[in-house]
Amino acid sequence: MMNARSTSQSKQFPQEWHMPIIPNSYPDRHPQITNEEKRLMEQYVSAAGKTMTGGRAKRIFDQLARFEQPYVDTVRLIAHTRNLSIGRRHLFTFMIQTELAFWAWPKEIWIEVIQTTPKKVQPQGVRLWMTLLAYFFGGFLYVGASTSYGFIADIIFGKTRMDAEVGKLYAPLRSIGYDKEFGGYHRFRWTTAFALTPSIDAPATGLVRIGYP
């Protein structure tokens, strides 16, 4: 029976979990942006949307690949990838202002970046991307209103794994009458994820910094 149960669990999700984005796997992580990189970002940000497309845009992205690749890889963790250019402009704007690569930003800058995302973009868009970038590259979890923590947990750990872990931990509460449809279930989902989350820089510690606005 025990072997059968273990086999069933192993089919649900891999035994070993890996962070979906590993910052150190990207080359050229110098913290400052060069004058040329700043010029290219300014050119992209100032151009009207319809004029910065095709070959012109690709030439800029190729020269800014050390920023573009981790950004796009993070966005691709989410099925919804519309408004990619809006998120890129938002990221570039703050890199121009700080003259720092986004992985070198302190917590205070990340909080401002997340809180000033364009309001017209849906919740699972630019704000979520910036929250994930802060988590992966800034090493802290932003805590604030209108943040889809359950969705973030599913992105980082995988929905199948989260369903299994939350189900085990939530079972005692359900047995005494709690309904998983209540909001508390979804908060519990992120609490479970937080308990499982290793530090990006020190996986053995199990610690992640929390960023409050």
Residue 2 domain-assigned? no
Inter-CA distances, 72 with 51, 65, 69, 160, 210, Å:
21, 10, 5, 24, 24
pTM across the whole model: 0.74
Residue 8 confidence (pLDDT):
46
Inter-CA distances, 67 with 73, 149, 166, 168, Å:
10, 25, 35, 39
Same domain, 27 and 132: yes
Same domain, 179 and 126: no
Answer with the one of 108, 123, 138 that is the final residue of a domain. 138
Report the distance separating Cα 44 and Cα 170, nearest Å: 48
Q: Which residues span the domain enclosing 102?
A: 20-138
Residue 1 confidence (pLDDT):
44
> For 111-132, how does the pLDDT look when each residue is reduced to its tens digit (9 = 90+)?
999 999 887 655 568 888 999 9
Residue 3 domain-assigned? no
Residue 15 domain-assigned? no
Answer with the one of 138, 169, 200 that is the final residue of a domain. 138
* pLDDT interval class at 80 (50, 70, 90): low
Same domain, 180 and 94: no
Answer with the one of 138, 156, 179 that is the final residue of a domain. 138
Inter-CA distances, 47 with 14, 16, 52, 67, 167, Å:
45, 45, 6, 19, 49
Same domain, 33 and 118: yes
> For 21-52, how does the pLDDT look when each residue is reduced to its tens digit (9 = 90+)?
999 999 999 999 999 999 999 999 998 666 77
Does residue 191 carry a pLDDT above 60? Answer: no
Same domain, 116 and 178: no
Considering only 41-50, 154-163, 179-188, which range has the smallest mean pLDDT? 179-188
Count CA atoms closer than 13 A to 209's CA, side-chain side.
Answer: 17
Same domain, 131 and 148: no
Same domain, 152 and 187: yes
Does residue 170 carry a pLDDT above 80? Answer: no
Does residue 211 carry a pLDDT above 50? Answer: no
